[in-house]
Structure 1
Amino acid sequence: MSIKVTYFDITALGEPIRYLLTYGNEKFDDVRIERSKWPELKPSMPFGQMPTYEEDGKVAHQSLAICRYLAKKYKIAGADDWEALEIDSIVDTVNDFRQKIAAYHYEQDEAVKEAKKGPLFKETIPYYLEKFEKIAKDNDGHLAVKKLTWADLYFAGLLSYLNMMANMDLLEGKPSLQAVRDNVFNLPAIKAWNDAHKQ
């Protein structure tokens, strides 16, 4: 089987896909696009977006859909429909969290960005992290169903990107979320991947 992931040479939305493929011991072509080349490549991409996932010539887009497909393939998407719902719900919430931080980080208007700063750092980020911490504690160092699922890999894969956008260590003082991260980072395949791809 021929597999290719195409994304920028950053973690961000590409890393959860790379993590899942690595977890599944899948060989894949990790294509990393220079930002200067993106304008000429963009028109050829589905909906003008990356990452894309290609399997034997078939191309898929939308990072969450790709991750969910791989999670089902590698049997970490839930043992039944309710588990799958619990996992999907927390992944969607993590993605909501990412979008709220990104809306601040990528804001071009400095006045608008400054106005967003207080509510984000004083209200939104603490609110989400408190909820995530409790969920991780209740699930024994996982984000759902008390075991390793793609929610954990998705969160851990996004973490460095989230920290970069927020310009802080989001997990400081959050031992249960640190356990989620460590449970992923200590997987032999993921550890080897991270060691080989120091950012």
Structure 2
Amino acid sequence: MPEYKIQYFNVKALAEPLRFLLSYKNIPFDDVRIQKEDWPEIKKTMPMGQMPIMEVDGKRAHQSLAMARYLAKQVGLNGANDWEDLEIDMAVDTINDFRNKIGAVQYEADEEVQKKKRVTLDSEIIPFYLEKLEAMAAANDGHFALSKLTWADLYFVGILDYLNFMAKKDLTENHPNLTKVKETVLALEGIKNWVAKRPETEL
């Protein structure tokens, strides 16, 4: 079995889907957590000056979605053909668009501008995406694609705490099908074991 290493900050955020995918099949990995004060020096050594980074037998990869897609194939949570992969990718890309919209507000440096942007986020953007994602999960029996467990489900639940932190609310509340996705993923034995032992972090 290959040796895996995931390198990221001491948060869930963008690395958690990778940790979920490996944990799903109980694949051991080295969970390296970089302290903020050490980051400026380490940043210089990173392919694109950012994390997460995944190493597979010492070979280094970056780009969180590309790495998640790779791991999905390793653990059998990808599609059976190109069209199925497209359906999964559409779901993941929609979730990622949602993350970027929320992130654009969360990381707005100007406080006054952020306040105004958050009004639009709360009244228009979040309801729009939640309605679409809820419908997607309803149409797929509590999953995001193919009416069965795929890496799209693990991706969503993996970044959910991060999304909630940035949105300042529980995004699955009053959305029964999104709640079902979350509960299904968190009930998977490998992921349940990971969640029980991972470091406590807010996002």
Which interval holds the TM-score relative to the shorter structure?
A: over 0.9
Offset at 1:151?
0.1
User: Residue 148 of structure 2 aligns with which residue?
Assistant: 147
Offset at 1:24?
2.3
Matched residue count: 199
Unpaired runs of 5+ residues, structure 2, are none
Task: Give runs of aligned pairs for residues 105-116 of structure 1, distance below 5 A.
Answer: 105-116=106-117
Offset at 1:166?
0.8
User: Residue 71 of structure 2 aligns with which residue?
Assistant: 70
Deviates more, 1:20-29 or 1:168-177: 20-29
User: Residue 31 of structure 1 aligns with which residue?
Assistant: 32
State TM-score, norm by structure 2. 0.96
User: Residue 102 of structure 2 aligns with which residue?
Assistant: 101
The whole-number CA distance in structure 1 between the counterparts of 2:73 and 2:161 is: 25
- Tell me the secondary structure at the aligned position of residue 172 of structure 2: coil
Q: Which amino acid in structure 2 is aligned with residue 121 of structure 1?
A: D
Offset at 1:83?
0.7
Q: Which amino acid in structure 1 is aligned with residue 161 of structure 2?
A: S
The whole-number CA distance in structure 2 between the counterparts of 1:47 and 1:30 is: 20
Deviations 1:4-40 (A, max 9, x none): 0000000000000000011122111000001111111
Residues 1:13 and 2:14 are matched in the alignment? yes
- Tell me the secondary structure at the aligned position of residue 90 of structure 1: helix
- Tell me the secondary structure at the aligned position of residue 7 of structure 2: strand
- Tell me the secondary structure at the aligned position of residue 44 of structure 2: helix
The whole-number CA distance in structure 2 between the counterparts of 1:30 and 1:9 is: 10
Deviations 1:41-74 (A, max 9, x none): 0010011010000011100000000000000111
Q: In percent, how many aligned pairs have the same letter? A: 55
Q: How well do the aligned residues superpose, as a CA RMSD in angstroms? A: 0.8
Q: Which amino acid in structure 2 is aligned with residue 23 of structure 1?
A: Y
